[in-house]
């Protein structure tokens, strides 16, 4: 693509958001907006600078991201391990398949009250819920990946008489690494969603709690500043993970749509 073309595409992409922001600002100025639910773009920008300046936004972001990252790693780790075992041993897979299919559709938010009762509020409870939410998708992806490992590699491991640990470590893991990364990538975006949901619903910390408080204090500018920031964080995570995937597993990027 030529530079002029990139510029043209970028210009077209930016046209709509820019037009909307300008329109909102003009409308707010003309009507001299005073509202408990709306705010002009300029006010939102000012509110953003103020929550960014006093550190509340950064601390909330750190809380949310820490919980999301911990829950994501825990859930994807445990789920992938179980998925690998199920992929390797058909008998375990057959025995557990029905149970997993019955547990999988339970919406993760339904577990909020359970975990809340067991652990109370705080980062721990949030991490456990996120991990539980990531568990089943990771099991399913890892199991499918192991079943697709080239059968000859498995024959090689039989010939070499590798033990279970050696077989997983030397043959299976390297073969399914791209799929595991994809699983982690999908989970990372989802973990942020679950984290914010848990914070909005119950847990008094992080970005979700921040946006909820801004709404309840009737500070719409701050609420929208949080909203835009949450969107920006989510977008940035997906961009970074996509870039990482392209760098480390270039051959696998197109396999995503399966």
Partner 1 sequence: MKAVPLRKLVLGIGGLAAFILLWKLVTDAKLVSPVFFPGPERTYVALVKGLSGGPLLSQTFETVKRMLLGWLLASFVGILFGALVGVSKRARAFIAPTLELLRPLPASAMIPVAIAFLGFSDNMVLVVIAFGALWPMLLATVHGFAAMEPRLYEVSEVLGLNRAQVIWKLALPSAMPMILASLRLGLTISLILAVVGEMLASREGLGQSILAASRSFRSADLFAGIVILGAIGLFGSRLLSVAERHLLRWQASSR
Q: Which residues bind partner 1 (CB under 8 A)?
A: 9, 12-17, 36-37, 91, 94-99, 101-114, 116-118, 189, 192-193, 196-197, 200-202, 207-208, 211-212, 214-215, 220, 223-224, 226-227, 230-231, 234-235, 237-238
Nearest approach, Cβ of 209 to partner 1 (angstroms)? 10
For tokens 């399914």, what's the residue? 176
Nearest approach, Cβ of 96 to partner 1 (angstroms)? 5
Q: Measured from the CB atom, is 153 or 200 closer to partner 1?
A: 200
Q: Measured from the CB atom, is 172 or 223 closer to partner 1?
A: 223
Nearest approach, Cβ of 116 to partner 1 (angstroms)? 6
End-to-end CA distance of the chain: 28
- DSSP secondary structure letters along 99-113: HHHHHTTS-GGGGHH
Q: Residue 68: what are its φ and ψ, rounded to 5°? A: -65, -45
Nearest approach, Cβ of 90 to partner 1 (angstroms)? 9
Residue 200 exposed, middle or buried by CB count within 10 Å (0-12, 13-18, 19+): middle
- Provide the CA 185 distance to its chain's centre, in angstroms: 7
Q: Measured from the CB atom, is 120 or 250 closer to partner 1?
A: 120
Nearest approach, Cβ of 34 to partner 1 (angstroms)? 14
Nearest approach, Cβ of 36 to partner 1 (angstroms)? 7
Nearest approach, Cβ of 64 to partner 1 (angstroms)? 10
Cα dihedral 84, 86, 90, 92 in deg (nearest 10): 140
Q: Measured from the CB atom, is 68 or 176 closer to partner 1?
A: 68
Between CA 229 and CA 215 the distance in angstroms is: 15
Q: Which distant-in-sequence residues (6+ apart) come within 8 Å of 210 by Cβ? A: 51, 56, 57, 60, 226
75 close to 134: Cβ distance less than 8 angstroms: yes
Q: Measured from the CB atom, is 139 or 196 closer to partner 1?
A: 196
Q: Measured from the CB atom, is 166 or 218 closer to partner 1?
A: 218
Q: Measured from the CB atom, is 17 or 151 closer to partner 1?
A: 17
Between CA 73 and CA 191 the distance in angstroms is: 10
């Amino acid at each position: 693509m030529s530079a002029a073309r990139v510029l043209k595409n970028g210009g077209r992409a930016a046209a709509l958001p820019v037009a909307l922001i300008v329109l909102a600002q003009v409308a707010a100025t003309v009507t001299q907006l005073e509202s408990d639910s709306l705010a002009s773009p300029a006010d939102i920008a000012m509110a953003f600078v103020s929550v960014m300046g006093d550190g509340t936004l950064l601390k909330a972001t750190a809380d949310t991201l820490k919980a999301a990252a911990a829950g994501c790693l825990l859930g994807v780790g445990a789920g992938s391990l179980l998925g690998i075992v199920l992929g390797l041993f058909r008998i375990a897979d057959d025995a557990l398949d029905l149970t997993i299919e019955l547990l999988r559709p339970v919406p993760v938010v339904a577990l909020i009250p359970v975990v809340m009762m067991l652990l109370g509020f705080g980062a721990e409870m949030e991490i456990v819920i996120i991990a539980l939410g990531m568990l089943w998708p990771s099991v399913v992806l890892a199991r499918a990946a192991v079943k697709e490992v080239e059968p000859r590699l498995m024959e090689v491991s039989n010939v070499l008489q590798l033990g279970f640990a050696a077989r997983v470590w030397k043959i299976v893991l390297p073969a399914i690494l791209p799929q595991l990364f994809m699983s982690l990538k999908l989970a990372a975006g989802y973990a942020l969603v679950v984290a914010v949901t848990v914070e909005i619903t119950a847990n008094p910390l992080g970005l979700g709690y921040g946006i909820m408080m801004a709404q309840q204090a009737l500070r719409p500018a701050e609420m929208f500043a949080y909203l835009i920031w949450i969107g920006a964080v989510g977008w940035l995570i997906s961009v970074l993970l996509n870039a990482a995937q392209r760098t480390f597993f270039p051959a696998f990027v197109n396999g995503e749509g399966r």
